[in-house]
Amino acid sequence: MTKVGFLFPGQGSQFVGMGEDFFQENPGVRDIYKTAEKILGFDLAEISFRGPEEKLKQTQFTQPALYVHSFIVAHLLQERGVIATEAAGHSLGEISAFAYGKAFSFEEGLELVRERARLMRESSEKNPGSMAAIVGLGINDVMELCIEARDRGIVQPANYNAPQQIVISGSKEGVAAVMNAAKQKGARRVMELPVSGAFHSPLMAGAVENFGIMLQKINITMPVIPVYANATAHPASSPKEIRTLLHHQLTHSVRWVETIENMVKNGVTRFIEVGAGKVLSGLVKRIDQNVDIMQCGTVEALGTFSLK
């Protein structure tokens, strides 16, 4: 039996119009967006479908839009008999993965996402920073550059996306120092990312305490399938650990390469990117070319999956 891993995307995968095709075709999807509007206090469907792009890019809108969209796609895949045996999510997508694994309800997950987005936005405003992608250098090389640049400012690897694709995060001075050093070291590409803050770095520390309080209010149970955490690259082992891992995720690195490698070691041979964009599909191809990777984020893509 083929083991299937669902992968849930994070910020950067959003696009204006995401989810509208499902909304037009499925009354159940319209009900989900109505529920989301009640929880969030704004019309998520309107922002997701109409934008404008600059508004959808804002953290407080991006994160709920991606979470709701991924939940809908996963639900519709399940209706077609496509069910994951394991799951993981990139950054924000980790909450989507735990919701899919039934560690908490859709509604509680959305409340977490709303609070996470608000706190991350506030931390970004209080402690401005930046992020950059470095392509063509190994993990150890980027780690060394970050260590050497710490006298210039806060900077650390934020996302271990692929063997030679690392995202760094921190103060503007620290990130700029590593970008310059990476170019001198021969990186193929060094690009500052269009994000509103230094996610997955110590500059998010201001969000941690209040997010921990929110996590204590959520009823968390063991997932029905293994759900891999960003901070450890291994499945969570208890509800207590899930709280700790989601808490730490704000300031810790996303260990995506190890996550995919560990899922493959556990027998996953087919991955499905559940939601917007194709970012994770591209990363999986760079990590392991021997596995199948599919993407489902539109009605058209959903049609390629067989019905029961």
Q: Which residues are designated catalytic?
A: 91, 200
From CA 294, how far away is CA 298, in angstroms rounded?
12
| Separation between Cα atoms, residue 9 and residue 66, nearest integer Å | 7
Whether the CB-CB separation of 259 and 7 falls below 8 Å is answered with no
- Burial readout 43-80 (b: 16 or more C-beta within 10 A, e: otherwise): ebbebbbebeeeebbebbbbbbbbbbbbbbbbbbbeee
C-beta of residue 195 within 8 angstroms of C-beta of residue 168: no
Calpha distance 222→137 (Å, rounded):
38
Please state, in angstroms and rounded to a whole number, the distance separating the CA atoms of residues 13 and 48.
Answer: 12
Provide the pairing of β-strand 3-8 with 86-89.
parallel
**Strand (E) positions, the chain?**
3-8, 86-89, 130-135, 155-162, 165-170, 189-192, 227-228, 268-274, 292-296
Tell me how far apart the alpha carbons of residues 76 and 222 are, in angstroms, rounded to a whole number: 23
Structure tokens at 10: 């994070």
